[in-house]
Amino acid sequence: MHTIYMRIDEELGEQGMQALQTELKGMGHVTDVEVHRNTPHDILVEFEEDYISPMAILRKLNQRGVHADIISA
């Protein structure tokens, strides 16, 4: 497993972040997604690095109209 820390540019609110969390969890080979109320622009995504890349996760966000940067991988 591998985890990336991403910073989201948009202000999505609690419901928007929860929807994003659910959508990312539905991606193949994404094993966990964490968002916290205290850090509304930050998201942690755990994934199986042998099957999916951080850029594929970033592209999924972009397809949804969300702009993010990978802070650490």
For 14-53, the pLDDT digits (tens) are 899 999 999 999 999 999 999 988 888 999 999 999 999 9
Total domain count, the chain:
1
**Which distant-in-sequence residues (6+ apart) come within 8 Å of 34 by Cβ?**
21, 43, 44
The residue segments making up the domain with residue 52 are 2-10+17-72
pTM for this model (two decimals): 0.88
Give the model's confidence band at 60: pLDDT under 50 very low, under 70 low, under 90 confident, else very high: very high
Kindly report the CATH number assigned to the domain that includes residue 6. Answer: 3.30.70.100
3-class secondary structure, 38: coil
Give 62-67's long-range contacts (Cβ < 8 A, gap of 24+).
Answer: 64/20, 64/23, 66/8, 66/9, 66/10, 66/12, 66/20, 67/8, 67/9, 67/10
Give the model's confidence band at 73: pLDDT under 50 very low, under 70 low, under 90 confident, else very high: low
**Per-residue pLDDT averaged across 68-73, rounded?**
85
